[in-house]
Chain A
């Protein structure tokens, strides 16, 4: 396999992704870049766009774009929650309530998973359509220990990638990393190759975590800094709502090199819309 990009999914067409959601395959013949895109106008999501409305430039080279309708692909929502010793009382209650709100908002075919972190990373529930299992795992979790934010963010992306579908990683933390083995730079390099979109919600000290800002930027997600977890349910719902409004573009790279960093530019033709997407992707092996 030419190592164009670690996150390239192989499929003869992007629409075939939905059909093979349960059994991803990796072919060396056809390589497709997926770009999750949020388009807003005046702060509100712009709906109804078609593939022809988008312009995608890969390292400055215009590409032919396909549009995967988001209804065709189920969501893989991976909660990546800080359950260190500081998540107690009202903060824990609000986190449980907020996750319940998101799980209630999932649709048929969507899946959810729970990755918890404290001194280590623990999977509370793998990807499953039985969202009750995920909620039970959250409700049973007992906060303790330190904060492995970087390790867990990596694990969350890996879980999101473990099944074909649109990976949404929702990271919540109230602290800075105190225990990870992995280094932020290495995980950010992986983020540049990942299809998963990372949204993060930080409370308290976590608002000073550069890592969360970096990983959300690299994956085209967004960082929400909140003062109090009382608004957590609203923020989580906003994340889910925003993610559902995103367009999934795909293209087979043409006229560009097989290695290295590829700068992505996504525009909407003839409109002054705001486009939010990953800034690029990393192709090939380690750099």
Chain B
């Protein structure tokens, strides 16, 4: 049923695509590469960020080879612009790929201002294009049948620890990164590029899309080594990679992948650096505390989580801080403090099972059978079927305090601000 719906959607897009192309003012004498480049850049200009509009749908049908060729043409004509527009005696036309192209036409095709053309600065277009491709990856590709939009490499799709199929290494994320690498003067110092990486990584991690997140985060590491938010999302990746749903697949496959502890140690180092870069980064502290606890460094975990619990804003972040702090206090031999923190977590989410289970176990460990049974009765009396809303623990590895929608909203705002300058 879902596949049928995808095919219908795809057909609709193809028909719409044909209709739009019919209206395009393509000149008969234009070579295919120029037609493709013009059409692509028109889509980049006309796309409304965050929407599933026609430019996004059309771009979604481009294949890996199309994008590679297009990028080569784009970068070549930008280089031509930089070279020719910078000259005092500017030629009227240039030859590229056996085609004579008027310089003014070339600038118009790229949509550059005179200054941008002279500087060979296509950064504004590249950033807009990266936003378009992120939207294509998030909004269009999931609707398309088969492996449209996927590279020749495949990934695993996992549910409840079981492999249920092959996933997609999305060419649009790859293409976006290549485009942003060409931003001048330096993508590593560009705030919009940084926001693009944080927003995209947040989306991929919240979706559990580790296969696409990995290369993106590896690239982000090269560009933004000391940025607190990039350090945080990298830490999040490693923490989530060490989580049971992922490690289950590692066990199942018998692969010789690094064990969970190595991933946790990696996460610990990254969160620690994120907190050093930004001591007010409460979510990094919460997750750092959890990872320290998982590594058995309970005293360090308790100290970090006490700071986090005191500063946490918003019910979910406070819930995690209290729940993890309860566990850390329990581990360092403060059962009374542990009980208080579990109760505070339970008060924040009264239908959450985890703090009540923790209270039951705590009572049982202390030999308080009656207390344990009382707590257990509360667990078993909870209404069924409200997960994951009822207990934030169930979505801990798919949740971030500032979610991807908010991240992308911030990215779009930044883009509009830059374009308005």
Contact = CB atoms under 8 A, between A and B. Distances in A.
A interface majority secondary structure: loop
A161 B393 contact: no
A146 B208 CA distance: 14
Interface in B359-377: 360-361, 364-367, 369-370, 372-373, 376
Given A155-B376, A159-B376, A190-B364, A182 B251 contact: no
B188 interface: no
B161 A190 contact: no
Indicate the member of B354, B361, B373 with the most A CB atoms within 10 Å: B361
Contact of B161 (A147, A158, A189, A284): A147
B367 A176 contact: no
Nearest to B365: A286
A136 to B, nearest CB: 15
B367 A285 contact: yes
A1 B364 CA distance: 14
B346 interface: no
Nearest to A149: B244
Contact of A84 (B160, B364, B369, B384): B160
A123 interface: yes
B162 A162 contact: no
B353 A26 contact: no
B149 interface: no
Interface residues of B, number: 36
Contacts of B361: 154, 182, 186-187, 190
B380 A123 contact: yes
A205 interface: yes
A220 interface: no
B373 A119 contact: no
Interface residues of A, number: 41
B216 interface: no
Interface string B325-369: 000000000010000000000000000011001101100111101
B162 A86 contact: yes
Interface in A169-214: 175-182, 186-187, 189-190, 193, 205, 208
B369 A161 contact: yes
B interface majority secondary structure: helix
A146 B245 contact: yes
A95 interface: no
Interface in A121-164: 121-123, 126, 145-147, 151, 154-155, 158-159, 161-162
Given A85-B159, A205-B162, A145 B387 contact: yes
Contacts of B39: none
Contacts of A182: 357-358, 361
A194 B17 CA distance: 67
A226 B342 CA distance: 38
Contact of A6 (B360, B364, B390): B364
Interface of A: 1, 3, 6, 26, 84-86, 119-123, 126, 145-147, 151, 154-155, 158-159, 161-162, 175-182, 186-187, 189-190, 193, 205, 208, 284-286
Interface of B: 159-162, 244-245, 248, 251-252, 323, 335, 353-354, 357-358, 360-361, 364-367, 369-370, 372-373, 376, 379-380, 382, 384, 387-388, 390-391, 393-394
21 contacts: A1-B367, A85-B160, A120-B353, A120-B384, A120-B391, A121-B357, A146-B245, A155-B379, A158-B364, A162-B376, A175-B161, A175-B248, A176-B251, A178-B160, A178-B248, A181-B353, A181-B393, A189-B365, A190-B364, A193-B364, A286-B366
